[in-house]
Amino acid sequence: MRDNDFYYGMARNKHESRLQELIGAARQKNIEVRTEKLLREVGYRTHSGRCRVRGKELILLDRDAPIVDQIEFLATALAESSSHAS
């Protein structure tokens, strides 16, 4: 194993831990978070997003997006949800 592989693995684990922390924080706010493969078609670009389904807030994370993008989206969505709740 090369040093770069070791450090990449450590960074990946750190990011995965952070994503799980954010998912836990969302659950505490009664927000469901799902990581799914978002279908892509010619002519439009898919991305993570929020919506309401039967009155319950839902956040869909694009599982093919880089983990740092998933973290950034979820952290921003949770911060916005906190500011709307105030």
Residue 31's domain comprises: 3-85
pLDDT band of residue 74 (cuts 50, 70, 90) is: very high
Give the total number of structural domains in the chain. Answer: 1
Structure tokens at 11: 């960074």
CB 37 within 8 A of CB 64: yes
CB 11 within 8 A of CB 3: no
Q: How many helices (H) and strands (E) does the chain have?
A: 2, 3
Q: Provide the β-strand partners of residue 33.
A: 59
pLDDT at residue 69 tops 50: yes
Exposure string over 26-52, b if 16+ CB within 10 A, otherwise e: beeeebebebeebeeeeeeeeebeeee
The pLDDT assigned to 2 comes to: 55
Could you report the per-residue pLDDT of 1-51, keeping only the tens digit for each? 455 565 556 677 899 999 999 999 999 999 999 999 887 776 677 789 899
Matching residue, tokens 């500011």: 83
32 or 86: which leads in pLDDT: 32
